Structure 1
Amino acid sequence: MKKQFNRMRQLANQTVGRAEKTEVLSDDLLQVEKRLDLVKQVTHSTHKKLTACLQGQQGADDREKRSKKLPLTILAQCMVEGAAVLGDDSLLGKMLNLCGETEEKLAQELIQFEFQIEKDVVEPLYELAEVDIPNIQKQRKHLAKLVLDMDSARTRISCPQICTILWPKK
């Protein structure tokens, strides 16, 4: 009980900022802690918005899986099928076939672009928001606990010296 009381008193002293506060927990570090939450929220919302903008199926590593649900690919297939129905000799058939091939190339470029965006932007944002920042916050809490332990040890070390000075043994 006495140990818990001393621990709470030390925590209160550190919070208030008395002179015995350890230098490890400086004001700059406390300000960084406050900004971490803001950075986490911003990266999380940016990640959500970016993944919502991507047209292909996110997370699919296979080009075929992505291209099946892409509107450009579906349109290109319809144009090529329409050209096949009209025949290759007609001018409209040739035009539909050419448009279908162009749409297919555009779809492949879009898929390549989305792969690159996911690799370069979306995955690092997710890593930052969901892994790195929580680890920093966890380490910060652990550091605060260790600082309390260090202050407690300092208090216990200095107490016998003060006690012997104030109340010398007879």
Structure 2
Amino acid sequence: MKKQFNRMRQLANQTVGRAEKTEVLSDDLLQIERRMELVRSVSHNAHKRLVSYLQGQLGTDTEKRHKKLPLTALSQAMQDGGSQLGDESLIGKMMDVCGETENRLASELMQHEVQIERDIIEPLNQLAEVDIPNILKQRKQLAKLVLDYDSAKARWYQATKSNNQAMAAKVDCLKDEMDEALNKVEICKDQLSADMYNFASKEGDYARYYVMLLEAQADYHRRSLAALEAAIPTIQLNLYDCTHKTVLLHSAGVGGKCGSCRLPL
């Protein structure tokens, strides 16, 4: 309680300019501190938007995630419609085949989102909500320790200048208190400096998350396009064969059913 009171009094004196304020961080470290606070803010915003970018449910297993995707619902609706219309319906046959393709697209999307969550969203959250806050917490602790040191130094200086015998008798005790406070400041400062420089050295790693996002998106779209390009020609050929046969046979006045789609001819 007394230490808290001394901190508040020292801070008040420094605020109005009646007391010196010890600066323990270099200009480089102060610049890193400002950068950290900004990186935390933009990383938090990027994390928030990336979470909203996902169509699946964050943190769920792959099977549940796949079931919750809109593409999966579309796939199921198409396949159900194909089953209801039956194999004798060309529309039903096309819906069934397209439904299978949509299900493959849903699988690709699910894998993509799992990768995004693992490799980008989780690391960004770790950076914004754990790593940087822990360093900033040390910074606040250092500020408190510096206040303790400044307060102890001020009380020691007053004692050395005092003519009061009682105060003079406390000089050695106050000197020890000041030295102890300074030692705590130095220990905290060294640890904080190491952590801040370590953060600065990893800025390239943090920037890499955004490159990985584009790479993952490009890979996902390539796989999805490959699935579509594999399915479309087969579907178009099947559709063309059935409709072409129907036109030719109707023109010739031939009845029956198409052997491919079972439509009446």
Measure the CA separation in 2 of the matches of 1:38 and 1:83. Answer: 54
Structure 1 contact 51–58 (Cα < 8 Å) conserved:
yes
Q: Residue 25 of structure 1 corresponds to which residue in structure 2?
A: 25
Q: Could you report, residue by residue, the CA deviation over 1:29-74 in whole angstroms, capped at 9, with x for unpaired residues?
A: 22222222221110111011111111111121x2232223211111
Cα distance in 2, alignment partners of residues 4 and 162 from structure 1: 20
Distance in 2, Cα, partners of 1:151 & 1:145? 10
Which AA in structure 1 matches 2:10?
M
> Could you give the per-residue CA deviations for residues 63-90 of structure 1, whole angstroms, max 9, x where no partner exists?
2322232111111001111111111243
Contact 2:10 2:147 in 1 (8 A): no
Q: Distance in 1 between matches of 2:47 and 2:150?
A: 41
Give the share of equivalent positions with the same residue, in percent: 56
Partner Cα separation in structure 2 for residue 68 and residue 108 of structure 1: 10
Whether the 8 Å contact between 1:25 and 1:144 is mirrored in structure 2 is no
Residue of structure 1 equivalent to 2:104: 105
The Cα shift of 1:160 comes to: 8.3
Q: Do 2:10 and 2:151's aligned partners in 1 also have CA atoms closer than 8 Å?
A: no
3-state SS of the aligned residue for 1:31? helix
CA RMSD in angstroms, aligned pairs only: 3.3
Which residues of 2 match residues 154-169 of structure 1 at below 5 A?
Answer: none
**Residues in 2 aligned to 1:154 and 1:25: alpha-carbon distance in whole angstroms:** 19
Normalised by the length of structure 2, the TM-score is 0.50
How far residue 148 of structure 1 moved from its aligned partner, in angstroms, is 4.2
Which stretches in structure 1 are left out of the alignment for 5+ residues? 164-170
Higher RCO (CA-CA < 8 Å; seq separation 6+):
1
Q: Which residue in 2 is equivalent to 1:12?
A: 14
Spell out the pairing of 1:113-132 with structure 2 (5 A cutoff): 113-132=112-131
Larger radius of gyration: 2
4+ runs of 1 displaced by more than 4 Å?
148-163
Query: In structure 2, how many angstroms separate the alpha carbons of the residues matched to 1:99 and 1:144?
Result: 64
Aligned to 1:78: 77
Q: Aligned pair count?
A: 159
Once residues 49 and 118 of structure 2 are traced to their aligned partners in structure 1, the CA distance between those partners, rounded to angstroms, is 16
Aligned partners of 1:86, 1:117: CA distance in 2, in Å? 39
- Partners of 2:118 and 2:161 lie apart in 1 by 61
Match of 2:135, as an amino acid? Answer: I
Report if the CA contact (8 A) 1:72-1:103 is conserved.
Answer: yes
Q: Secondary structure at the match of 2:59?
A: coil
**TM-score relative to the length of structure 1:** 0.74
